[in-house]
């Protein structure tokens, strides 16, 4: 960040007022060369705003509307499929998963303690016993999770 000296402010105001055809980019280059500092276009715009200088370069004519590329509308057609619906596939559960519930079978009030080895592959199964009120686990698994506290 450059500290603006009083000499820099005087020169900036003069360039801003006397040469309205100069862009902020050109003012920044002239100021940088004259004072041996690096000024950016945005630094000059911000300084003009903070000094309360009047805005420059108001448009005399309204802006031209942006010409958007015309896109063809894609017509959606309804397709009727008469293919038979296959029966649901039964997923074979490993022997340790017997009696557990999948995540889709669990409901509010079911124990969500995962059964099986730590790094087991899907399908994951959960205990499913009635859980304690407001808790995710049944009494047995809540004691395991909290160490009996």
User: What pLDDT digit, counting tens, does each position of 79-123 carry?
Assistant: 887 888 778 766 665 655 567 888 888 888 889 998 887 777 777
pLDDT of residue 84: 82
pLDDT of residue 33: 93
Pair of tokens at residue 42: 């945005």
Q: What are phi and psi of 16, to 5 degrees?
A: -65, -45
- Whether pTM > 0.75 for this model: the answer is no
Q: What are the CA-CA distances from residue 65 to residues 58, 61, 62, 68, 73 (Å)?
A: 17, 12, 9, 9, 22
| CA dihedral for 134, 140, 144, 148, sign (positive or negative) | positive
| Cis ω before 123 (30° cut-off from 0) | yes
């Amino acid at each position: 960040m450059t500290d603006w000296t009083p000499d820099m402010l005087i020169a900036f105001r003069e360039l801003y007022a006397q040469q309205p055809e100069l862009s902020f980019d050109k003012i920044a280059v002239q100021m940088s060369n004259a004072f041996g500092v690096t000024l950016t276009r945005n630094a000059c715009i911000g300084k003009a705003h903070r000094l309360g200088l009047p805005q420059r370069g108001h448009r005399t004519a309204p802006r031209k509307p942006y010409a958007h590329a015309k896109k063809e509308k894609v017509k959606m057609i309804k397709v009727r499929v008469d293919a038979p619906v296959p029966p649901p596939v039964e997923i074979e559960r490993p022997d340790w998963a017997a009696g557990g519930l999948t995540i889709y079978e669990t409901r509010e009030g079911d124990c969500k303690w995962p059964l099986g080895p730590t790094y087991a592959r899907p399908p994951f199964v959960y205990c499913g016993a009635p859980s304690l009120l407001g808790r995710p686990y049944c009494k047995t698994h809540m004691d395991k999770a909290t160490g009996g506290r």
